[in-house]
Amino acid sequence: MAGLQPGAPTPTRLTVHGQSRILEIAFSDGASFTIPFELMRIYSPSAEVQGHGPGQEILQTGKRDVTVVELEAIGNYAVRPVFSDGHESGIFSWDYLYAMGAEQDRLWDQYNQRLQAAGMERDAPMKVAGGHGCGSH
């Protein structure tokens, strides 16, 4: 199993560029993407960011300068980045990274719309919320 979808493209090259804060990833179908760490962080597939269902997403702010300090392989289907802000619970499957790379213009637009709707600024510090008792993070 290479990704989460049988027959899906698999990475042929994965490079963390710390100074420019991007993940460069090339796939077996010839596609290649440069994905900003900020985009990865604000769309982390973790429950801490995505919530536990539709409409429970937590709007991430203040992540422009986040870096990836470690990238751990998860089997042969994903990686788990450790971000400089301490976030480390997102597991990024190859499928998820491919979609993120291919759809990043739409994802940025969606993020900017969510910021605007919430009356938030991209660089505003994250508010520390009280625990919600789910025990998953």
Using CA atoms, how far apart are residues 42 and 48, in angstroms rounded to an integer?
Answer: 11
In this prediction, residue 28 has a pLDDT band, given cuts at 50, 70 and 90, of very high
Give DSSP secondary structure letters for 50-97. Answer: HTTSTT------S-TT--EEEEEEETTTEEEEEETTS-----EEHHHH
Q: Which amino acid is at 124?
A: A
Q: What is the CATH number of domain 11-118?
A: 3.30.2020.30
Look up residue 17 and give its two tokens. 């560029």
Which tens digits make up the pLDDT trace of 57-93? 999 999 999 999 999 999 999 999 999 999 999 999 9
- Among 19-23, 52-56, 98-102, which is the least confidently predicted range? 52-56
Q: What is the pTM of this model?
A: 0.88
- Whether the per-residue pLDDT at 103 is higher than 50: the answer is yes
Higher pLDDT pick, 103 / 134: 103
In this prediction, residue 128 has a pLDDT band, given cuts at 50, 70 and 90, of low
Q: Give the pLDDT of residue 137.
A: 41
Residue matched to tokens 């597991």:
91
> Could you tell me which residues come within 8 angstroms of residue 72 by beta carbon, excluding any fewer than 6 positions away?
79, 80, 81, 82
- Whether the per-residue pLDDT at 54 is higher than 90: the answer is no
Tell the burial category of 105 from Cβ atoms under 10 Å away from its Cβ (0-12, 13-18, 19+): exposed
- Whether the per-residue pLDDT at 9 is higher than 80: the answer is yes
Using CA atoms, how far apart are residues 26 and 33, in angstroms rounded to an integer?
Answer: 6
